[in-house]
């Protein structure tokens, strides 16, 4: 099948972890995936994995805070149907040591860059287009990274507002809020994994594939009556409250 006949999907931060799993799932679902990432090596590996599985993909290396680069990304996306805003940053700071610069950088990457990409994509997405933003369960409250919590709460609020803005164009906008997911970043904290596992109602941690499945639900054409929603994927931990993990 020629590449131009396939709908395309942009996944930011797709060079590893959750973003890679989303790219793989959308490739399996019939999209030509545009793998956008700051890491050339990571993006190339994701494209290799997709190609190995028989899916169409190409890499775009960019900094999502560069509006000119993201506009070029959108302009180069033939037959664009889906935008998944997965790229973001995370670090821990106790409140006393947080600086205004910490807040600005977190907002610039996690919220402002996402807003810019959404605005650029919304101008070209057709009726039936899909935008999915990665939030975080931390958006509902967590200790030791107030700047991250604030940025992701902003993503959640923006997702709901944008859903109303784009409803008349029949473009849905939803969010997925992961809980504790087994990514490389989490594995770096190996000494605390068992404690995290024991805090989960089902006694297990999530995988990037769990998040990819949630994104795929929102992208599915049959989900056209679902918009402005934030789906928490955390194994049920938030049922008893969304306090810190």
173-205 tens-digit pLDDT: 999 999 888 887 666 665 567 777 777 787 788
Q: How far apart are CA 42 and CA 47, in angstroms?
A: 9
Does domain 3-239 fall under CATH 3.30.70.1520? My reply is no
The pLDDT of residue 43: 98
pLDDT above 90: residue 245: no
* pLDDT band with cut points at 50, 70 and 90 for residue 62: very high
User: Considering only 32-46, 149-163, 201-215, which range has the smallest mean pLDDT?
Assistant: 201-215
Band of the pLDDT at 30, cuts 50, 70, 90? very high
Output the pLDDT for position 181.
Answer: 84
Q: What's the rounded mean pLDDT across residues 144-168?
A: 95
Confidence of residue 66 (pLDDT cuts 50, 70, 90): very high
**pLDDT score, position 191:** 59
Query: Residues 86, 87, 92, 97: is their CA dihedral positive or negative?
Result: negative
pLDDT at 3 over 60: no
Q: Output the CA–CA distances (angstroms, integers) from residue 80 to 24, 34, 66, in the order listed.
A: 17, 10, 20
Place of tokens 């928490």: 232
Predicted local confidence at residue 230, as pLDDT: 98
Which sign does the torsion angle of CA 139, 143, 148, 151 carry? positive
Residue for token pair 């287009």? 129
**pLDDT in the model for residue 188:** 62
Q: How far apart are CA 152 and CA 50, in angstroms?
A: 29
The pLDDT of residue 244: 44
Query: For the residues 73-86, what does the mean pLDDT come to?
Result: 98
* pLDDT band (50, 70, 90) for residue 110: very high
**Statement: residue 170 has pLDDT above 70:** yes
- Of 6-20, 31-45, 90-104, 205-219, which gets the smallest average pLDDT? 90-104
Dig out the tokens for 221 from the structure.
């054409």
> Which pLDDT score is estimated for 193?
73
Please answer whether residues 235 and 204 qualify as being in contact, where contact means their C-beta atoms are separated by less than 8 angstroms.
Answer: yes
Burial of 1 (0-12, 13-18, 19+ CB in 10 A): exposed
Compute the distance between CA of residue 182 and CA of residue 237 in angstroms, rounded to an integer. 15
So what's the pLDDT on residue 2? Answer: 40
State the Cα–Cα distance between residues 234 and 180, nearest whole angstrom: 6
- Residue 103: CB atoms within 10 A of its CB come to 16
DSSP state of 181: B
- 31 as an active site residue: the answer is no
Catalytic residue among 31, 107, 145, 148: 148
* Cα distance between residue 237 and residue 239, in whole Å: 5
């Amino acid at each position: 099948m020629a590449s131009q006949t396939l709908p395309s999907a942009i996944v930011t931060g797709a060079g590893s972890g959750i973003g890679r799993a989303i790219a793989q799932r959308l490739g399996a679902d019939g999209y030509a995936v545009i793998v956008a990432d700051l890491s050339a090596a990571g993006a190339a590996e994701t494209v290799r994995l997709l190609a190995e599985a028989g899916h169409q993909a190409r890499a775009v290396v960019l900094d999502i805070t560069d509006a000119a680069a993201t506009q070029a990304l959108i302009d180069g996306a033939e037959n664009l149907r889906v935008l998944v805003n997965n790229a973001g940053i995370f670090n821990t700071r106790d409140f006393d040591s947080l600086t205004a610069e910490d807040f600005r950088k977190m907002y610039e990457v996690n919220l402002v860059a996402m807003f810019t990409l959404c605005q650029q994509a919304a101008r070209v997405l057709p009726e039936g287009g899909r935008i999915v933003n990665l939030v975080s369960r931390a958006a509902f409250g967590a200790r030791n990274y107030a700047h991250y919590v604030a940025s992701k709460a902003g993503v959640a609020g923006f997702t709901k507002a944008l859903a109303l803005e784009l409803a008349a164009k029949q473009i849905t906008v939803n969010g997925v809020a992961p809980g504790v997911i087994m990514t490389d970043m989490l594995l770096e904290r190996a000494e605390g994994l068992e404690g995290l596992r024991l805090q989960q109602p089902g006694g297990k941690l999530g995988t990037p594939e769990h998040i990819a499945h949630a994104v795929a639900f929102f992208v599915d054409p049959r989900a056209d009556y679902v918009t402005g929603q934030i789906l928490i994927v955390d194994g049920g931990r938030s049922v008893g409250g969304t306090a810190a993990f």
